[in-house]
Amino acid sequence: MAKIVRTDQELECPIIDKTLVERGHDLVLLPDGIDEDALIDAVREVEILLMCYTPITKNVIDAADNLKAIVKYGVGIDAIDIEAAKARNIPVVNIPEYAERTVAEGAFTLMIALAKKLIPLDRAMHANDWVWPETSWRGIDIAGKTVGLIGAGKIAQSMAQMAGAGFGAQVIGYSPHTPPERMQEIGILPYSDITQMMAACDFVSVHCVLNDETRHLVGRAQIDAMKPSAFLINTARGAIVDEMALLDALKAGRIAGAGLDVYSQEPLDQSGHPLRALYDMDNVILLPHLTFFTEDAMTRLEEETLERCFEALEDRPIQIKSTDPRLLSQSSGVAFVKP
């Protein structure tokens, strides 16, 4: 019997929890927002640490003497001190493929909803019974527009397919580490300058990972370069965008609107959050970091998370399916699987 801790219990994972308990393991569930000291106390005898959003710091890692693996049940690994884990030969693994198409569908849903003003129209219908075709309610087509993608991974590739082949938009993109010929192969016209790309777009959708290079990649200069009629969509990570610059642009009407599923400070709230003014904007759609959360995607996530857990518990190499250099830099207890 192994002791296993799963943080962020608010993200319900019944397959993971039921399976681990049925196999006789001591599963401890911890809430989102647990402080570092409480987490340190909880992991002292732990063998597997499952996390989604909770920061896993060097102090936490160093306190877990029996730790065999840190399993991110999700994609983003920016909350884990990977160097501290590597120093102790503790493998870190994520589940990168479970929701690629799912998140792209979520981002595209935001694009359609913004283009067609679906959310304010729905609110007006509930408040007024009916809405007449006044000029202020006119939406826009996606066909014939320019959709810009930041990143060229599998989620962006799905977005390119939906927007280009599916809806007849021109798809352009910025991904400096992707060869231009590869971007063209997947239906994205490459730009070498992100500011120039964003200036050409009617919609910009963010699909890159968060790291030191991409933090505030979409900054004030890039947002200010956007058309007044353009929309920004972010389903990747909040800190990729300078959120205060985005808020200023929305307040001033310098862009047409935004669809957001992620925020650098989560959860979002209407009291003390620096982005609370977004709640009052009819041209902004707010989602609670749940574009990945479908029945199909969660089943894939839970089943593969269990596979990684069992590899660690049985002292087998843990499969790394990610292309993230931070995970590929590991050399102990892992086996790399080409995507």
| Residues with catalytic function | 237, 266, 289
Q: Report whether 209 contacts 156 (CB < 8 A).
A: no
Q: Report whether 142 contacts 112 (CB < 8 A).
A: yes
Q: Tokens representing 77? A: 């690994």
User: Could you tell me how many residues make up the chain?
Assistant: 339
Give ∠ CA 250-251-257 in degrees, rounded to 5.
25
Residue 241 DSSP label: B
| Those residues with Cβ within 8 angstroms of residue 276's Cβ, 6 or more apart along the chain or in another chain | 268, 269, 270
Q: Tokens representing 62? A: 């160093």
- Other C-beta atoms closer than 10 Å to the C-beta of 78 total 17
Residue whose C-alpha is closest to residue 237's, from 155, 140, 158, 318: 155
> How many Å apart are CA 49 and CA 58, to the nearest integer?
14
